[in-house]
Structures are given as C-alpha cells and as structure tokens.
Amino acid sequence: MKPILYLSVAALLLAGSALAQTPSPTNLGRNAFPQVGKDGRVTFRVKAPDAPALTVNLGKDYPMTKDADGVWTATTDPQVEGFHYYSLKAGGLSFNDPAVHSYFGMGRWASAVEVPGAPDAAFYTPRQGVPQGAVRSVRFFSKVCGEWRRMYVYTPAGYELNPSARYPVLYLQHGGGEDETGWIYQGFADVILDNLVADGKAVPMIIVMVSGVAHPAGDPAADAFDQMVTEDVIPFVDARFRTLADRDHRAVAGLSWGAKQAYDLGLGYRNLFSWVGGFSGIIVIGEFRTRPAGYEDPEKFAAAYNGVFKDPAWFNANYHLVFIANGEAEGSHLKGMSGILKERGIDNVFYQSPRTAHEWLTWRRCLYEFAQRLFK
C-alpha cells in the first residue's frame, strides 16, 4: 500500500499546485478576487450586469467576458512575482477595482495585485517578536512651496526607549506618479528595516519620505524639489527628530524618477549627503541615453554636479557609497552606467534583483540591500 499512498499524496499535491489560486494580498477584507495562480496568472472578477463591456489593464488590455450572472472575468498572462498596478476600463475611462486596496500610483489612487512567489518574501514579511519601529505621518509647512505638506517618518525600534540616542537619516523617494505613502504601503520599508535591525544586519536609522512633487509658491509650472528638501525638509527633520545631523550620517535614495532626484540631491549637495542610492533610475549627465552621452565627454562628466566627479580620488574618499540597482527584467543599461562610472574611477556598488521588473518587489529588494550597507 505504501507506494500507492505516496503516489496519491504526490498526485494530490501536484493537482493542488496546478490548480491553486490564492486571493491577492491586496484584496480588501476577505474578498476572494482577484486571485493569483501558481503560474502567476491573475484572474479578475467584477459583478456588473449592466456594463456593456469591461476590460482589465495590467501591463496590457485584457477584455473581460460576462457570465449569465453578470459577473465579468479575465485571466492575464503569467506575471512575474511582485506588486503590479492595474486598472479597470469601461467606456473610455480607467478606474479602480473596488475589490482591492488603493495605492497612490500612476498619478492617482490606483488598484494593485501582489503576485506571491518571491523565494525571499520573509525579508518584507512582519514577524512576531521583532521590535517595531514607528511610521509617523507628520505635517510640515513648506516655505518654499507655500503650503502645508505631509511627510512619513520611520523611527526605528528603540527610538523612544533611548530618549537621548541620535540616529542617522535616510531620505527615501518614491517614483513618478506616486507619493510619500509609497515606500510604506507598496514598499514595506518599515517591515524591511524592522527585520534587518532585529537581525543585526542594519544600523537603526530614521527614514524620511516626502512627496517628490514640489512647486515653488506661485509658480505651479516650476520644480522646487531640491530647494524644498534642502531648505525646509532637512532643517525640519533635524529639529523635530533626534538625528545625527551631518553628511556622514545622511543618505538619500529613490526609485525610478525618485532615483534621478536622489542622485540630484546626493551628488549635487555634497555638503549634505555622503551615501547615495538609485533604484531603477539614472544619473543624468548631458543627454543620458542607454550609454550616457555625457559620460563620453570628459568635460561634461567633470562639470556635472558642480564637479563632484572631477577628482575621483576625492570622490571615493568623501562619498561612502554610491549604490546603483534595478530589476533583471529591466535590462542592462544601469549595469552599464555602473560600469562606466567605474571606468571613470568612481567607486559604486551594483545590485540586480532576480527576475523582477520595474515594480515594487525590485525596490523592496533594493532597499534591503542598500540599507545593509548604510552608515557602516
């Protein structure tokens, strides 16, 4: 009997594995759909008996089909593991799926699914017994922008138990179309840092997240991000929180468009920052393309960011870290950028997230890798 029993169990496991669909972790309450199959295909269901047509867009359009009960269904191609924004479309409009949580992305509150299957998911999963930091929503008045704004601030576990301790600060930027909430709700930055600190792999640090969309008061067409951060945000944070308020203890990183902003701040304000990270984004010198044009021109390269790269020996002695990273599915151009910088004598670390695309699993991993190298 034994071999048969073994076979049966194996067959059951196989059948279960092939058929298993699990609700997306982004579903509201106990909603059953969207569901994600073991193969990464996502199945959507929307009850809308009166809708003449319905489409789900997840990277591309998937027209939905309606059953006799007025329930529309579509199943996507296999998706790589991680976090993917999507929309429902009807009558020429794109909108949210009421079945899932909304996240600020794509310039609006957007729907998303989380495709499980990351072998390393433990690093961004809460664990019982791990001391927790706190994520604070803090209002501040920006004189540069002439308005009240909101920042998220992560303080590490122990911040309040050690009322005289001071901590280094990481300024961490979201991507285009997102806002200051992204690194918490999509990125799980608080969980990642809590776990890293508990495991002794990262130095306890404060993380400041602000919206990267900033206009000077009275001029909505102009950008004032650098000015807002350097004149409003950093002084506010250093006054409000127990920071180590010098360049040796101040880092900046960001993703995608936020990576470009992080490089602008980190390389452009050498008196303020000495640790810089860019996830899925570029250092712009001249007219950056796949192989950045400005990098080929020694004069442009030496002049960039007020000459920060002019003397590589000085740069390498004074910058503790330049961290360049992206997802494997995004291609090799950032690996190329890292290589060119090295050719030109600028030390940097390159990291690539296996399999993942221009999405939040990539950036969770980037933060996980980056944070372990900070302030050491």
- Which CB sits closer to its own copies, 143 or 291? 143
Q: Counting contacts by CB under 8 A, is residue 245 touching its own copies?
A: no
Interaxial angle between packed helices 360-372 and 189-198, expressed in degrees from 0 to 180 and rounded to the nearest 10:
30
- Which CB sits closer to its own copies, 236 or 288? 236
Which residue is listed with tokens 């009322």?
163
* Least distance in angstroms from the C-beta of 103 to its own copies: 9
- Which CB sits closer to its own copies, 189 or 361? 189
- Asked if 342 contacts 317 with a C-beta cutoff of 8 angstroms, the reply is no
- Which CB sits closer to its own copies, 154 or 263? 154
Long-range contacts from 218-226, C-beta under 8 angstroms, 24+ separation: 218/146, 224/144, 224/145, 225/261, 225/264, 226/261, 226/264, 226/265, 226/268, 226/269
- Closest Cα to residue 149, out of 104, 208, 214, 207? 214
Q: Counting contacts by CB under 8 A, is residue 350 touching its own copies?
A: no
* Least distance in angstroms from the C-beta of 229 to its own copies: 18
Binding pattern to its own copies, positions 129-168, x when CB under 8 A? Answer: ---x-xxxxxx-x------x-----------x--x-----
Binding pattern to its own copies, positions 13-42, x when CB under 8 A? Answer: ---------------xxx------------
* Least distance in angstroms from the C-beta of 357 to its own copies: 24
Query: How far apart, in Å, do the first and last CA atoms of the chain sit?
Result: 60
Collapsing DSSP states into helix, strand and coil, what is residue 156? coil
Find the binder of its own copies among 88, 267, 276, 283 (CB under 8 A): 88
User: β-pairing, 82-90 with 55-58?
Assistant: antiparallel
* Least distance in angstroms from the C-beta of 159 to its own copies: 8
Distance CA 72, CA 29 (A): 20
- Closest Cα to residue 235, out of 272, 205, 270, 260? 272
Collapsing DSSP states into helix, strand and coil, what is residue 370? helix
* Least distance in angstroms from the C-beta of 206 to its own copies: 13
User: β-pairing, 102-105 with 55-58?
Assistant: unpaired
Q: Counting contacts by CB under 8 A, is residue 55 touching its own copies?
A: no
Within positions 185 to 204, which residues make up the interface with its own copies, using CB under 8 A?
190-191
- Chain residues that interact with its own copies, rule: CB under 8 A: 28-30, 46, 48-54, 88, 90-96, 98-99, 101-102, 107-109, 126, 128, 132, 134-139, 141, 148, 160, 163, 184, 190-191, 213, 215, 220
